[in-house]
A and B are shown apart, each in its own frame.
Chain A
Amino acid sequence: GDSVTQMEGPVTLSEEAFLTINCTYTATGYPSLFWYVQYPGEGLQLLLKATKADDKGSNKGFEATYRKETTSFHLEKGSVQVSDSAVYFCALSRWTNAGKSTFGDGTTLTVKP
């Protein structure tokens, strides 16, 4: 079955540091890949997505590239801010699975001033 493995947390960085959160997946076919973010006390919200190989999703300074050859979708940001402190979830969906998503376990990021 489908699976998503993301780097274990928690991750603690200083403001303006470089962020990478690794995500690899196992799925048949060509899934769509997502990063969702959950701020404290809120539901998840879409951060970025990519729907085919070599696509790059980007939003709010975050980027991730769909790498079919390595089955990866790593999240990066060049300079994190305190306001980026949140839980980040990598996920995939396939149309052959009726659009249900498989989520990673989430990575908690804390950014210190």
Chain B
Amino acid sequence: DVKVTQSSRYLVKRTGEKVFLECVQDMDHENMFWYRQDPGLGLRLIYFSYDVKMKEKGDIPEGYSVSREKKERFSLILESASTNQTSMYLCASSLGLAGRSWTQYFGPGTRLLVL
């Protein structure tokens, strides 16, 4: 089974702090994704990566950056956390173009509270 793990289930940070959310997948997937999930707004794509060091902005990239130095790891960075970034953050991966499979496998999520 594909496993996607996220570094924390719950995180509390202060406004202005730099925050790192880590995601690791163990199935050699090409694609990795970061979403945020808010009540009434569904899932919104923050960033997408289709290969090591390759990234593409999603629908709401402002205030976020990402890093993918190794294929299995995709990090989301909040450069200066703000209260409006309080949310549930979901990481996902998929096999991608090589495998012709778009099924996404999700981690358990990180619930971030910014005070």
**How many residues does chain B have at the interface if contact means C-beta atoms less than 8 Å apart?**
26
Tell me if B96 and A99 are in contact (CB < 8 A).
yes
Report which B residues bind A (CB closer than 8 A): 4, 31, 33, 40-43, 45, 48, 50, 56, 58, 90, 92, 94, 96-97, 100, 102-109
Report which A residues bind B (CB closer than 8 A): 32, 34, 36, 41-46, 49, 89, 93-95, 98-101, 103-106
The smallest beta-carbon distance between B3 and chain A, in angstroms, is 11
Residues of B within 8 A of A42 (CB): 108-109
* Top 4 closest pairs, chain A to chain B, by CB: A93-B102, A43-B106, A105-B42, A99-B102
Tell me if A99 and B31 are in contact (CB < 8 A).
yes
Residue on A nearest B45 in the bound complex, by CB: A100
Tell me if A44 and B45 are in contact (CB < 8 A).
no
A98 touches which of B40, B50, B104, B106 (Cβ 8 Å): B50
Tell me if A43 and B109 are in contact (CB < 8 A).
yes
Besides A45-B106, A106-B42, 4 more A-B contacts (Cβ < 8 Å) are A43-B4, A43-B92, A95-B97, A99-B31
The docked-state distance in angstroms from the alpha carbon of A15 to that of B112 is 35
The smallest beta-carbon distance between A95 and chain B, in angstroms, is 7
Residues of B within 8 A of A43 (CB): 4, 90, 92, 106-109
